Structure 1
């Protein structure tokens, strides 16, 4: 039997261990997928990042400096991308997702919060300490924290990363430095933040208790809205004048006035809806934890379920050219042609 002290001594922090090269990478658990120019990039468990240059037919594994689970990925252009996940890791790529470097992790997160609110927040001392005390007691910033969503502007300069217990960081230099964004969002209750996404030029954050925040350009503040549901929303998608917020237990909400008002959408989803995308010329697609894929061809008013070749717990979906979808989930990546 191996002595306990020997096992402890051999432990390597996943933040310090590069992601291992894996066989059959397309069948490993994946959590998010995006388009980077003509390339697909997907992220998943144990630091796995893969990319495809032939519309998902073949995939290669990227060089990744951590082996923590990765939850979300975003590219501002075909070369510059960011991936976020557990251990409060933020990774950055400048070569279209082939290789990645670490910009931040949870080991420096608490010091970042303390430094900001004690020296750089611009708030009066009492209010700054109130923010800091609440954040340190509720968010427990450190290696146990994680991010759920990430977004950057087209220049790859200004960005946000969000997570549970109101975790929100912002950057104005491409991720070289980060600072807490809690003074710029209506979220004093530190509700979980599940995703951040830009739709038709407007930036939105989704979270628990049916909250959807939008970035007010005049005040540069995320203003809170409610869809009329007390459960968690996992994300938002849309196109033109239609927004769809989706979440637990198959709940979908539709807005046609930039999120000022919302209406519940009837559907046949049997479980939580985890991701959505707009499909050029076809409509809006949502995927669920119950291996369901559904499309709306009437701007989110109704949905029809699609037949899928490899049903699984889906966590991400993206639209490709020619009416194709690429979906990721518990059993890897799947492509689907929309009829």
Structure 2
């Protein structure tokens, strides 16, 4: 089995590397895929890496399978029932009731009751076999297709290595159609709400199998960003994710924006903006050198970026420029969500916090 280390965004923020192994407690193996998340109020002080809105409810996901929800804009939180204790990285609700969360061990979780309880739909023990079945069928139909042969070999390797590859983001357009993306070019699509999944590793312009860090739709365009300046955009005609050149070759951690303006952001304060559907990009000067690790858009259309140092930057002109907001005791942030007028909920190594902004 290959050994490698991966830092989810929150761990990158605090310069920690998290191994892709199961948790070991008191020298005993614990199968995180078979162990429900422990119910504990202390978990609120743990690491959280993902935030989402489920209607008026806020949902937060983090380490050891912890999922919490709040009905008062993040003042009070209650813990959800989760069937795994794998570290969770990202969460999204396309409707107020239907939501998905993803994380380590190839976990995909689904909730149909506004985030109160969750069920496992997919995990790393199944991912390799789904890939193998799919690409073997494809190879049988196209025996001379070298790409299919390579993906068959990759699927066999994943089966041998076990459930150690993470999904790092999730995006659904509605309660039926969605994607999960992750390490080493992992990308799957569902059209039935997660009951079945189809691998799309052959549908990305990612020959180096770079990690996918985030996936978002901005207007009618669907983007993926990742390491080494990777930006992909879905071509509706071919259903391929095609490469989009940008001026930066460092890692992009996320995508944000609104119809007519898309921003990609990442290492060392680098942010690039396009107003022509990713045909051209201009650098947005923030005046900060810390990596940008989180973003959100307010109800009145302002775009907010948050850095690894906890700096909050707000744009009222569709991301053309940003103003830094003063913060008391800034701390590393992995995710942010506008929770109401002048209120920002952030997640990170210090748990869940509320930050004011103007």
TM-score (norm 1): 0.92
Partner residue of 1:169?
A: 188
Instruction: Select which of 52, 55, 62 maps to 1:44.
Output: 62
CA drift of 1:309 comes to 4.1
How far does residue 120 in structure 1 lie from its aligned partner after superposition? Answer: 4.8
Structure 1 segment 93-242 matched on structure 2, within 5 A:
93-120=111-138, 124-127=142-145, 128-134=148-154, 142-154=162-174, 156-242=175-261
* Contact 1:138–1:165 (8 Å) recurs in 2: no
Runs of 4+ in 1 over 3 A off after TM superposition: 120-123, 134-142
Q: Is the 8 A contact 1:270 1:290 kept in 2?
A: no
Contact 1:109 1:141 in 2 (8 A): no
Q: Give 1:324's aligned residue.
A: 343
Report the aligned-residue RMSD.
2.1
Once the two structures are TM-superposed, the CA of residue 183 in structure 1 deviates from its matched residue by 2.1
Q: 1:70 aligns with which of 68, 77, 88?
A: 88
Secondary structure at the residue paired with 2:224? strand
Q: 1:250 aligns with which of 269, 283, 298?
A: 269
Which of 287, 301, 308 is 1:268 aligned to? 287
Q: 1:121 to 1:242 in 2, by over 3 A?
A: farther
After superposition, the Cα gap between the structure-2 partners of 1:123 and 1:243, relative to the gap in structure 1 and judged at 3 Å, is farther
Shift of 1:303: 1.8
Contact 2:97/2:114 (<8 A) preserved: yes
Q: Any unmatched runs of 5+ in structure 1?
A: 1-5
**Larger mean Cα displacement after TM superposition, 308-317 or 97-106:** 308-317
**2:185 match: secondary structure:** coil
TM (norm. structure 2) is 0.87
Count of matched residue positions in the alignment of Structure 1 and Structure 2 = 332
- Structure 2 unmatched runs, 5+: 1-24
Q: Which residue of 2 aligns with 1:306?
A: 325
**Which of 62, 84, 106 is equivalent to 2:102?**
84
* Structure 1: distance between partners of 2:155 and 2:185: 8
